[in-house]
């Protein structure tokens, strides 16, 4: 725990850099990257998007500098893939890329990270490594996209990412996560905190795909590192709300034979606002749920007990079910 002070300093520096870049870039985004409301939007006035540039720049800058000072190696493939997928997101924010093009480029970025990882990184030893990496590739593409899909409400991604990265940082300080992943988690946590004041209702700026896609990649890699360190249950619990909301929504849309790749308002958090929930109420419940999931994840890691892991997974599933059910019901007048 001797690295607590440097970790908190890194979080603070990342927050300041993120806030500064967001503030400086907002007039340019207002001019060139304006998100106009449509039938599927949660906002009602044209709002600039693309502040993810600030979040990703702050995250990578702080993590890389801190890694150099601490003599820690952050995978070059991860840095390159993050920049690459951010560029894909930026292009999509400006000109709206075709779905197939986006998926191919996303697969290339995720694949670069997955297939350059050490062969010793294995979640299920009984499973052939090539098969496991292929499954991780598919899961990674889905995770990158689901973070993008869920970024549809003011402060939603902040309410998700800050508890998850905060828990990852704590696990890293306790020695339960690799140091490179701990650095990334700390820097990303700070960068999101710096972005938060600009995204609170009513948001002055949005992340855009340039932010949500690389955030999904970085967060997914940190969770994968946690799973590779023998903690797959914790890696599943931390993002479980995003996983549940987006995956259930996807299956429902497929079952209804809808164009599941197109924009929509079918997610539980979107239905909540349609059902009369105020945005702060939705965000508050999501944030509280993620704090509960973070505590359960930390408990599974620190206890090292199969029984506690099973109970934590069940408790997490019950908590998520409660929130999703709550969002699905109209608010009483």
Q: Is the pTM of this model over 0.75?
A: yes
Mean pLDDT of the 139-157 span: 94
What confidence tier does 254 reach under pLDDT thresholds 50, 70, 90?
confident
Q: Is-contact 105 88, C-beta < 8 A?
A: yes
Q: What whole-number distance in Å separates Cα of residue 237 and Cα of residue 244? A: 10
Mean pLDDT of the 155-178 span: 97
- pLDDT reading at 40 higher than 70: no
Q: What whole-number distance in Å separates Cα of residue 169 and Cα of residue 181? A: 8
Residue 28: per-residue pLDDT: 87
Output phi, psi for 96, to 5 deg: 60, 90
Better-predicted residue by pLDDT, 31 or 105: 105
Sign of CA dihedral 116, 122, 127, 128: positive
Residue 186: per-residue pLDDT: 97
The token duo for 160 is 């998700």
Mean pLDDT of the 119-123 span: 91
- Per domain, the residue ranges of the chain are 4-328
């Amino acid at each position: 725990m001797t690295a607590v002070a440097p970790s908190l300093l890194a979080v603070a520096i990342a927050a300041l850099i993120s806030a500064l870049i967001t503030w400086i870039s907002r007039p340019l985004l207002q001019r060139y990257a304006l998100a106009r409301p449509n039938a599927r939007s949660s906002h009602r006035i044209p709002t600039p998007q693309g502040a993810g540039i600030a979040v990703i720049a702050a995250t990578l800058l702080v993590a890389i500098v801190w890694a150099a000072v601490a003599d820690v190696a952050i995978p070059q493939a991860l840095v390159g893939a993050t920049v690459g997928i951010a560029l894909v997101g930026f292009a999509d924010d400006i000109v709206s890329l075709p779905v197939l093009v986006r998926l191919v480029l996303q697969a290339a970025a995720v694949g670069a990270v997955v297939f350059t990882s050490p062969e010793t990184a294995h979640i299920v030893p009984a499973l052939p490594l090539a098969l496991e990496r292929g499954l991780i590739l598919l899961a990674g593409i889905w995770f990158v996209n689901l973070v993008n899909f869920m970024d549809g409400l003011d402060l939603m991604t902040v309410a998700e990412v800050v508890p998850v990265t905060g828990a990852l940082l704590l696990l890293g300080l306790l020695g339960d996560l690799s140091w490179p992943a701990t650095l990334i988690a700390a820097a990303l946590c700070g960068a999101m905190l710096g972005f938060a004041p600009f995204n609170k209702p009513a948001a002055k700026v949005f992340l855009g795909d340039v932010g949500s896609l690389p955030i999904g990649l970085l967060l997914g890699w940190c969770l994968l590192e946690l799973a590779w360190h023998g903690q797959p249950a914790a890696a599943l619990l931390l993002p479980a709300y995003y996983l549940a909301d987006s995956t259930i929504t996807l299956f429902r849309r497929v079952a209804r034979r809808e164009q599941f790749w197109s924009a929509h308002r079918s997610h539980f958090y979107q239905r909540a606002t349609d059902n009369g929930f105020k945005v702060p109420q939705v965000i508050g419940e999501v944030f509280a749920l993620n704090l509960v999931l973070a505590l359960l994840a930390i408990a599974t890691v620190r206890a090292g007990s199969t029984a506690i892991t099973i109970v934590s997974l069940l408790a997490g599933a019950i908590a998520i079910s409660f929130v999703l059910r709550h969002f699905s019901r109209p608010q009483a007048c």
